[in-house]
A and B are shown apart, each in its own frame.
Chain A
Amino acid sequence: MTDRLIPRDRASHPVLTIPEYRSSVRRAPTQPLLSMGSTPAEEHGPRFGHSLIGPLDNNLILNWTRGDAQALGERILIHGRITDQHGRGVPDALIEIWQANGAGRYRHVKDGYHAPLDPNFGGCGRTITDEAGGYSFMTIRPGAYPWPNRPNDWRPMHVHFSVFGHAFGQRLVTQMYFEGDPLIDRCPIVATIQDRSQIDRLVAPLDMAAAKSMDYLAYKFDIVLRGKRQTRFENRLEGL
Chain B
Amino acid sequence: MTQTPPLLRETPAQTSGPYLHIGCLPVTNGLSHVYDTPLPIEAAHAGAKGEWITLQGSVFDGAGDVLLDAMLESWQADAAGLYPGQAGADPAVSGFARFASDGETGAFSMRTIKPSATQGPDGARYAPHLALWIVARGITAGLNTRIYFADADNADDPVLSQIADPARAQTLLAQPLGEGAYRFDIHLQGDSETVFLDI
Contact surface of A with B, Cβ cutoff 8 Å: 1-2, 6-10, 12-17, 21-31, 33-42, 44-48, 51-54, 57, 63-64, 66, 83-87, 94, 96-98, 106-111, 122-126, 160, 162, 168-169, 171-175, 189-190, 192-193, 195, 198-199, 201-202, 223-227, 230
Contacts and interface: CB of A to CB of B under 8 A. Distances in A.
A209 to B, nearest CB: 22
A190 B137 CA distance: 13
Interface of B: 4-5, 7-24, 26, 29-31, 33-37, 39-40, 61-63, 65, 67, 69, 73, 75-77, 83-86, 94-96, 103, 118-121, 124, 126, 129, 131, 133, 135-144, 146, 158-159, 162-163, 168, 188-189, 193-199
For A23, A109, A169, which residue has the most chain B Cβ atoms within 10 angstroms? Answer: A23
Q: Which 3 residue pairs are nearest across A and B when measured between Cβ atoms?
A: A98-B23, A23-B138, A46-B96
Nearest to A221: B11
A201 B11 CA distance: 7
A24 B138 contact: yes
Majority secondary structure, B binding face: loop
Contacts of A42: 131, 199
For B8, B35, B142, which residue has the most chain A Cβ atoms within 10 angstroms? Answer: B8
A96 B24 contact: yes
Given A160-B17, A192-B140, A36 B159 contact: yes
B188 A52 contact: no
B85 A30 contact: no
Nearest to A33: B198
A96 B27 CA distance: 14
Given A24-B138, A39-B126, A201-B11, 11 more contacts: A14-B140, A24-B15, A28-B140, A36-B158, A85-B10, A86-B5, A110-B18, A162-B23, A173-B14, A174-B13, A225-B10
15 contacts: A15-B140, A28-B188, A31-B195, A33-B196, A39-B120, A41-B129, A51-B37, A84-B8, A108-B21, A108-B29, A122-B22, A162-B16, A195-B12, A224-B8, A224-B11
Contacts of B120: 39-40
